[in-house]
Amino acid sequence: MLSENQRTLMHCLYTRHHDGRVRQRHVRSIVGEVSPWVAPFVVQLVGEYVLNILMDIRSGLVEVDTPGTQMHAAYGRFGAANPEFIARTRQRVASYWHCYYRNVWTDRKFYPGTTVIDSVRAAVRHFQPVGRVAGPTRAAGGHPADGGVAHLPMEASGT
C-alpha cells in the first residue's frame, strides 16, 4: 500500500509516460495538488501538444490565478526559481499552437496552453526578486513570442 506522498509521486512520474492517455489520467490526479514538487510535472505538460491534457490542467489550476492561495504560491515560487524552464515552456506552447492549433485558435492568447502558462507567469511575478525578468530577453524589444515586447518585472508582493 502506498502512502499519499508515494501515490502523488507515482502520478507525477507517470505524467512522463509515452502514451498521452496515461499522462492525462495521471495529471488529473495531481493537478489540484499544491505540493511544490508537483508543479514541475504539471508545467512540463503545459508545453506539450495534447489538447485534452491542456484542458484538464486549465480546469485544475483555477486557483493559480488567485493571489494568497497555496496553488498560486506553489506555482509562483516554482516559476520564480526556474525562469528558464518557464520561458522554454512558453516557447513550446507558442510552437505547438503555431504547428497544430492556429487554425482553431486564430489568436494565440486564447489557446489553452497560452492561458495556463500566462497564469503561471502572472503568479511568478508575485515571487520574483525585484529587478529580475522571467526568462530570456533581447536588448531590442524582448522575445519574439512576446510580440517583441520586453516584459518588465513587477515588485515582489511578499505574499
| pLDDT tens sequence across 109-155 | 999 999 999 999 999 999 987 665 555 444 334 444 444 333 333 33
Q: What percent of the chain has pLDDT over 70?
A: 81
* CB of 52 closer than 8 Å to CB of 24: yes
* CB of 143 closer than 8 Å to CB of 137: yes
**The predicted structure's pLDDT at residue 146:** 42
What's the mean pLDDT when you consider all of the chain?
86
Cβ partners under 8 Å of residue 20, min gap 6: 50, 52, 53
CA distance 129 to 141: 22
pLDDT at residue 1 is higher than 70: yes
Over the Cα atoms of the chain, what is R_g? 16
Task: Dump pLDDT digits (tens) for 26-36.
Answer: 999 999 999 99
pTM for this model (two decimals): 0.80
CA torsion sign, 46 to 140 to 152 to 130? positive
pLDDT at residue 103 is higher than 70: yes
Task: Dump pLDDT digits (tens) for 29-79.
Answer: 999 999 999 999 999 999 999 999 999 999 999 999 999 999 999 999 999
